A = this chain, B = another copy of it.
Amino acid sequence: MRRAEGLRDQLEQDIVTGHFKPGERLDEQSLASRFGVSRTPVREALMQLASTGMVELQPRRGAFVASLGFKEIIERFETMAALEGMCGALAARRITDEQRSKLVEAHEACVAEAKDGASDSYYYANERFHQVIYEACHNAYLAEQARQLHTRLKPYRRLQLRARHRVSNSLAEHQKIVEAILAGDSTKAEQRLRDHILIQGQRLNDFISSFGSAKVA
């Protein structure tokens, strides 16, 4: 057997898609037989996922799909706001001509998807939009950190998109972000990108509160 790397991605996918639910226990032996490998590579994959916060490892107890409480989710949105804000600030100063085109294209794709009303397809266009900004900041490490949090918060982002008028408001925010970056205004780009993320946390808060539960996705 020669494939521990893929194991991690497979498990991550199963968690993000909800195949394994938050709080669920991940038995090493079960996963091993499920993937046709021994426990060793499974343990390695679990440890990697633990380092990204996807699973929680309790010593001598086992691995559990991390279920973030409301507080933990907000904390991550705040952290992401800091990272994305810096991405925006740097992107405004460093974006290349080619990336300018990509940014506009990605934004227009978001507008197009939003018209169709399907929040899922909007989500993917939105994801691409942020990826372009990550690239444009020309800081591979910062981009990677932002990307990781982005992935980790994926289930919660999708949730808040269903709040009333959230998509149209999100689009308006994107518009202002694009303008700031293209104008090379790093201060405005940072402020707007940061607020864009923090607002998502706020809307998620509203969304969760309206159902009276802190454990979601």
Contact = CB atoms under 8 A, between A and B. Distances in A.
A132 interface: no
Contact of A79 (B52, B76, B145): B145
B44 A75 contact: no
A62 to B, nearest CB: 15
A156 to B, nearest CB: 14
Contacts of A85: 82, 86
A145 B5 CA distance: 25
A74 to B, nearest CB: 8
A11 to B, nearest CB: 15
Contacts of A33: none
Contact of A86 (B43, B48, B79): B79
Nearest to A72: B141
Tell me how many chains of this kind the complex includes: 2
A135 to B, nearest CB: 14
A217 interface: no
Interface in A42-86: 43-44, 47-48, 51-52, 59, 72, 75-76, 78-79, 81-83, 85-86
A143 to B, nearest CB: 9
B90 A86 contact: no
A63 B76 CA distance: 30
A183 to B, nearest CB: 21
A82 B145 CA distance: 12
Interface in A88-102: 90
A71 to B, nearest CB: 9
7 contacts: A43-B44, A75-B141, A78-B142, A79-B83, A79-B86, A81-B86, A82-B86
